[in-house]
Structure 1
Amino acid sequence: MKRSVASLAAAEHWAKKHKSVVEEQETLPDTDYSSSSSQEETAKDSTLQQPDIIEILSSDEEKEPLKETRYKLTSSKNFKSPFELIQTPSLREDGVGEIGVSLEELISHRDLVSTFQFNFSIQVDYFLTHIHPEANPQVTFISGNNILQDYNEPVDPKYIQKYNLKCLLAKLEDRFGSHHTKMMINFFTDGTMEIIIMTANLTMLDFGGLTQMCWRSGRLPKGKSRKDQGIIFQNDLSLYLKCYKISQLSQLANTLNEYDFTSIDVELLASAPGTYNLNKVSNTSEIYGYGKLYQLLQRNKLFTTTGEPHSLLSQVSSIASPFKSSKGVSASVFSHILCPIVFHDPEIEPEFQTLPLTPGSFEKHQQQNNYTPYIIYPSTSDISNSKIGWGGGQACHFKYTTTNPLKQQYVQNIRPYLCNWESKIRGGAPPHVKMLLCGNKHWNMLKWALMCSHNLSKQAWGYPLASKKGEHLFKIASYELGVFIPSRSTRKLVPKVNNNENLNLKGDDIPITVPFDLPPNHYSKNDKPWSSIEPSGDLTDITGQTWPGLLE
């Protein structure tokens, strides 16, 4: 039986692992799978076989071009949900893999003339096979490394010439920072432009066997934006592009200002490397990371104070080290920065006297503010159920046994809140999507929703620095991007779980696609988080194999 492309990609990834540099005791990168030597480990057995499952995404046969009507886009306001699942071909046998949009629908347009592809990991040849055969667009990649030179196999010169391929390098000063943003900006022959913000790398594995989501602007015409929300999004995106300090992207930012963003009714939440002052943020100032989350909550009047019980959920594919550890206690991004921002009363504490929370105070904060935190991250048993075997775990990273700070973080700030990756439509596809949700106690209503590239790390969200009185300085190391949807007095956000169409929507209510079960289920006492360095014991995957763990 022929092995699937995603299966082969996963096996190749583990086979190429080699021993990492020694891990700093209190610093872990915001990891994604990559070829970077500082993020790799050695597999104890690089000959592990992945399952022979259905053909995924490509074959030796020539692809049939998509019909134009299949990928014709409409305004985002006409989508049933602003967030869309991306198809997961590894789940086709289960009858749910084709729910969502395909990579072809995102990029295979006959009238595509230019595309800017922002991403972390890019398989160039794989991406180019999804360009429409009758299109000849100029393709520009933006990444943290020069994929045209550092790629495993040299890119065929004929493709470099045909598509005028270019790679722009994002500047990264922090060794653990990364260019983690995943965005497409596409231009068409009719003069329109489309923005796609997603969670997927441009690889066979990401589009073949992992759970992913995206937001699409729809095709935007040239013109002047006439609505406040569209103007704000346009301005925020322009400022983010200029953060790169690359002339071509500054020009791209100027070009986007020629388009009409009136139809866009969401917010942009970005991270960009730098040092920022939270105490000087206003509704219109340029700010990133957790400062940006604060700004969005502030200008949409979404701060959650004591009163009715709430729930706050972070669903991620990576959990990095605590940003502070001392005397047996630790402070982590979700528990000690994001939660206190969300449940903050700026009128009572204008100088952020409790941000971040001091180590050891998280449980008291929950009681005082009447909320329940959840962290959805796959357990080892969740990964064992992957349709592509243990290889599906390469997208999920969490070290919690190797140093005392990591052990403290796990026991104090992570383990009590961990929930399984469970989904009726994506259970067999490990998550690479990331979401942050604020809802009511019963999860039948959301106060706001964020789909993003941010994992739980200080590199992505930022971390506090020692500051003078009246300042709250924080530092960000990575580029990240997400879409934030606020509720308003005139509209409610209703979670659309597992593609459920039976929602009680009224008026301007908006369904929000959520790719996992709600309410989430906490780990059982026997569950442990997936970590590539930890062996699975007697637990086997879909092929009947155990996971030996990776060498430190």
Structure 2
Amino acid sequence: MDRSRKRNLDNEEDEESRALSSLSRPISPPRKRIRQGQAQKSPWQLTRIRDLPGELNRDAVGLRDILGDPLITECWQFNFLHDIPFVLSAFDDMVRNKVQLHVVHGFWKKDDESRVVLSDQAAQFHNVHLHCAPMPEMFGTHHSKMMVIFRSDDTAQVAIHTANMIPKDWTNMTNAVWRSPRLPRLGEQDTLFQQGQQLPIGSGTRFKVDLLEYLKHYELYRPTCKQLVDRLVNFDFSSIRAAFIASVPGRHNLGGARRPAWGWAAVQRCLRHVPVERGRSHIVVQISSIATLGAKDDWLQRTLFDSLATSLTPNTRRPGFKVVFPTADEIRNSIDGYASGRSIHTKIQSPQQLRQLGYLRPMLHHWANDCADGAKLPEEPPISGDSGRDRAAPHIKTYIRFNESNTIDWAMLTSANMSKQAWGEAPSSTTGNIRIASWEVGVLVWPELLCEDHRDGVMVSSFQSDTPGAAPVTEGQRAIIGLRMPYSMPLQAYGKDEVPWVATAAHSEPDCKGCTWMYPTGDSA
């Protein structure tokens, strides 16, 4: 049977302190089965896939769902790629020509073709304002994907997501969005944000501090986001339950708890406050790009993976690591065929890249778990579910820690792929500084943080819905938080001869649309 056909057939302060009090407990929750308590929806949503049926788009969100409110008066868009007419089309018809749209990009060369196109588009609209981010590192990109929205009812909202602001990423590519609650204006000047590192990790006030510190780094050469910072400081972030994790290009000193941390150091600092279950666990790194990491796995294991393995809970085993990345066969049979692979990247051509593939291979797992050559490993925990996104190629980036109880210790949604440019180099042996090349933003959440009225809760995988299904009933009651899964489980390891999709290679086997592949220019990130 044709494989693609086979696949189709297989188809506020007191409350805050109580909610955050669990962060200081060094003992992880005891292992137990879950009793169905009050179920909470996933902290993030998947984006709607145009060419999938409605039942697979349950609880999914489209761009107009985010920007279509007629109360929106101002919007800041941080991203790698922007299609300005497309972004404007998502606003309500009544305010489309009135919303002040600020576009923050990283095309610093005036003759860059992408900058020329962006400038020509912006010139057509009186309400569009372009801002170029400082790019001090040669090989960096402005890869952050974030929106800041202001409404006429004196509220603001922050959205952190994984999609470029182009039609392709909002149609048949898998992406996700985290949105803050609507943030009211403060009655008087907020003083807590001045205290920086003294604020609890995961609190809304700490989120505000870290976001504003991130935005202030755009002022390196010229005023870029100052007016946004001056405005955001007047809003109340206390309803947010998430940690802001970002990367800022440059060389950064790791010393001092009060100094902002970026990249892998930010993740490490945050996870020191996050409890995990003892016993076996594994972290699934699911990305749309794998950079050149080195012929040896030193940086991957000792810098990125060691930071992700950090926790508040003492004497825990180091988790195992799995990497989810599509093969050429999965891209061929995605909804848009090879065209989906234009923004999914890795290389395996040079000797060094082949050595890198050698140490990555034992970790590599499929995006779509219905591959004839793949293997479901016997040690894989019995989490089972169909994400409904197997045929929608991944542009999403998630990092999730699963524990032995088949629940989730923490989850991160971010623009950052698996690269030194995104997360930062290992510390310098002479200065101790770390070097980061790109701008990135993300959010990290964990169950204790999200339990509104419970000291004890669990996060569980949720498939095809933002709300988790019923769980077994035993002694005790714990709050249940769903996490919308972008990939199906259990994971399926690569077969011995399988390799990742390589966008820069030629692919002569026709895709689901009958097309072959020669790599075009102008790829997205």
Q: Which residue of 1 aligns with 2:125?
A: 160
Return the offset for 1:192.
0.7
Deviations 1:331-390 (A, max 9, x none): 343x332222233589999xxxxxxxxxxxxxxxxxx94532100001111101111111
CA-atom RMSD in angstroms: 2.9
User: Superposed, which structure 2 residues align to 1:364-403 within 5 Å?
Assistant: 369=317, 371-401=319-349, 403=350
Distance (Å, rounded) in 1 between the aligned partners of 2:259 and 2:492: 39
User: Superposed, which structure 2 residues align to 1:403-418 within 5 Å?
Assistant: 403-412=350-359, 414-418=360-364
Are 1:467 and 2:420 an aligned pair? no
Q: Which residue of 1 aligns with 2:383?
A: none
Which residue among 70, 82, 92 is the counterpart of 2:43? 82
Return the offset for 1:301.
4.9
Are 1:435 and 2:394 an aligned pair? no
Q: Which residue of 1 aligns with 2:249?
A: 273
Return the offset for 1:208.
0.9
SS in 2 for 1:299: coil
8 Å contact kept, 2:40–2:480: no
SS in 1 for 2:457: coil
Q: Tell me: CA distance 1:370–1:237, structure 2 relative to 1, closer, same or farther (3 Å).
A: closer
SS in 2 for 1:184: strand
Deviations 1:463-493 (A, max 9, x none): 024323xx63211010000010023362322
Distance (Å, rounded) in 2 between the aligned partners of 1:195 and 1:482: 11
Distance (Å, rounded) in 1 between the aligned partners of 2:520 and 2:319: 38
Which amino acid letter does the alignment assign opposite residue 381 of structure 1? D
8 Å contact kept, 1:377–1:529: yes
Q: Tell me: CA distance 1:241–1:185, structure 2 relative to 1, closer, same or farther (3 Å).
A: same
Return the offset for 1:320.
0.2
Which amino acid letter does the alignment assign opposite residue 495 of structure 1? S
Which residue among 418, 424, 428 is the counterpart of 1:456? 418
- What is the number of equivalent residue pairs in this alignment? 437
Distance (Å, rounded) in 2 between the aligned partners of 1:261 and 1:416: 42
TM-score, normalised on structure 2? 0.77
TM-score, normalised on structure 1? 0.73
Q: Tell me: CA distance 1:285–1:347, structure 2 relative to 1, closer, same or farther (3 Å).
A: farther
Q: Which residue of 2 aligns with 1:495?
A: 461
User: Superposed, which structure 2 residues align to 1:239-258 within 5 Å?
Assistant: 239-245=213-219, 246-258=222-234
Q: Which residue of 2 aligns with 1:176?
A: 139
SS in 2 for 1:532: coil
Distance (Å, rounded) in 1 between the aligned partners of 2:444 and 2:481: 13
Which residue among 205, 227, 235 is the counterpart of 1:259? 235
SS in 2 for 1:140: strand
Q: Tell me: CA distance 1:301–1:137, structure 2 relative to 1, closer, same or farther (3 Å).
A: same
Q: Which residue of 2 aligns with 1:504?
A: 471
Distance (Å, rounded) in 1 between the aligned partners of 2:325 and 2:102: 33
Q: Tell me: CA distance 1:132–1:331, structure 2 relative to 1, closer, same or farther (3 Å).
A: same
Which residue among 318, 322, 334 is the counterpart of 2:289? 318
SS in 1 for 2:229: helix
Q: Tell me: CA distance 1:219–1:185, structure 2 relative to 1, closer, same or farther (3 Å).
A: same
Q: Which residue of 2 aligns with 1:420?
A: 366
Which amino acid letter does the alignment assign opposite residue 83 of structure 1? W
Return the offset for 1:264.
0.6
Return the offset for 1:458.
0.3
Return the offset for 1:548.
5.0
Larger RCO, structure (CA 8 Å, separation 6 or more)? 2
Distance (Å, rounded) in 1 between the aligned partners of 2:444 and 2:309: 17
8 Å contact kept, 2:271–2:310: no
Which amino acid letter does the alignment assign opposite residue 519 of structure 1? P
Q: Which residue of 1 aligns with 2:168?
A: 205
Distance (Å, rounded) in 2 between the aligned partners of 1:234 and 1:253: 10
8 Å contact kept, 1:178–1:477: yes
8 Å contact kept, 1:90–1:97: no
Distance (Å, rounded) in 1 between the aligned partners of 2:347 and 2:515: 22
Distance (Å, rounded) in 1 between the aligned partners of 2:114 and 2:515: 36
Q: What stretches of structure 1 of length at least 5 have no aligned partner?
A: 1-76, 350-367
Return the offset for 1:516.
0.6
Return the offset for 1:511.
1.2
Return the offset for 1:550.
7.2
Return the offset for 1:399.
0.3
8 Å contact kept, 1:230–1:263: yes
Q: Which residue of 2 aligns with 1:296?
A: 270
Q: Which residue of 1 aligns with 2:505?
A: 534
Distance (Å, rounded) in 1 between the aligned partners of 2:240 and 2:216: 21
Distance (Å, rounded) in 2 between the aligned partners of 1:526 and 1:99: 37
Which amino acid letter does the alignment assign opposite residue 420 of structure 1? H
8 Å contact kept, 1:532–1:550: no
Q: Which residue of 2 aligns with 1:446?
A: 408
Q: What stretches of structure 2 of length at least 5 have no aligned partner?
A: 1-37, 193-198, 369-385, 449-454
Distance (Å, rounded) in 2 between the aligned partners of 1:342 and 1:424: 24
Q: Which residue of 2 aligns with 1:31?
A: none
SS in 2 for 1:392: helix
Distance (Å, rounded) in 2 between the aligned partners of 1:542 and 1:331: 39
Deviations 1:34-81 (A, max 9, x none): xxxxxxxxxxxxxxxxxxxxxxxxxxxxxxxxxxxxxxxxxxx99711
SS in 2 for 1:101: coil
Return the offset for 1:197.
0.6
Return the offset for 1:238.
0.7
Q: Tell me: CA distance 1:195–1:79, structure 2 relative to 1, closer, same or farther (3 Å).
A: farther
